[in-house]
Amino acid sequence: MHDALSLLQQRHSAPSRQLGEPAPDAATLRALLEASIRVPDHGKLVPFRLIELRGDAKLRFGAQLAERAIRRDPNLADSKREKERNRYTYAPLVIVVIARLHDDAGIPEIEQKLCAGNVAYNLLLGTYALGFGAQWLTGWAAYDPEVAALLGLAKNECVIGFVHIGTPQTEIPDRDRPAVDDLLSQWQG
């Protein structure tokens, strides 16, 4: 039984700045995306969509985000400006996971966002299973209305995360994990 859980027991995020080429090729990415969208979906709403950022388009997106970060905070420290300028230069592929919310479906918004979040998590699991690395990032850009406009989001859409995907360029140590005994309780009624 433990062998069946080994992927979950070993999965960890790879910091985006430590990801480089190669990213999954087109066929592998297609298979990864097809697997990643197999998520619990109350009401079969498909409350998500994906945006691929790659190559020059990814770099242009990153440059526009850096410009937006500086407009948001003209006093941004030089080190943070540099971080913003370089954020999209490392991982060769970024998949933006978008929640597409349906107000009239009778399904709570949180359930729809969790469905989209499951897509992002499946991307993390799938990339790890394929031998790649990934990191799910949000940060200010996920909640900024100008970034939403830049991505062409509709009023009923929001960013769930930017999943940076590539090949780890160095060994990624695992972090300390919480103990199940510290998290699990039994309800006795």
42 is in an annotated binding site: yes
Q: What pLDDT is recorded for position 1?
A: 60
Q: What is the CATH number of the domain that holds 80?
A: 3.40.109.10
Residue 112 maps to a domain: yes
- The answer as to whether 31 is a domain residue is yes
* 85 is known to lie in a ligand binding site: no
- What is the C-alpha to C-alpha distance for residues 40 and 33, in angstroms, rounded to an integer? 15
Sequence-distant (≥ 6) Cβ neighbours of residue 9 within 8 angstroms: 2
pLDDT at residue 118, rounded to an integer: 98
pLDDT of amino acid 4: 87
Residue 166, in any domain of the structure: yes
Report, as an integer, the average pLDDT of 122-141: 97
pLDDT above 90: percentage of residues in the chain: 95
Predicted local distance difference test score (pLDDT) of residue 2: 73
Does residue 174 register a pLDDT over 80? yes
Q: Residue 74 domain-assigned?
A: yes
CB 133 within 8 A of CB 115: no
12 is in an annotated binding site: yes
Instruction: Calculate mean pLDDT across residues 115-129.
Output: 98
Give the Å distances, CA to CA, from 80 to 19, 73, 75, 125. Answer: 20, 10, 10, 30
Q: How far apart are the first and last CA of the chain?
A: 31
Domain count, the chain: 1
How far is residue 109's CA from residue 130's CA, in Å, rounded to a whole number?
32
- Mean pLDDT in residue range 150-177: 96
Q: Which residue has the tokens 């109350």?
A: 42
pLDDT band for position 33 (50/70/90)? very high
Is 137 marked within a binding site? yes
136 is in an annotated binding site: yes
Q: Does some domain include residue 102?
A: yes
Q: Is 184 inside a domain boundary?
A: no
Kindly tell me if the per-residue pLDDT of 95 is higher than 90. Answer: yes
4-13 pLDDT, tens per residue? 899 999 999 9
pLDDT of residue 3: 86
Average pLDDT of every residue of the chain:
96
User: Which residue range is the domain that position 42 belongs to?
Assistant: 14-171
Interatomic CA distance for residues 92 and 127, integer angstroms: 13
CA-to-CA distance for 38 and 119, rounded, in angstroms?
8
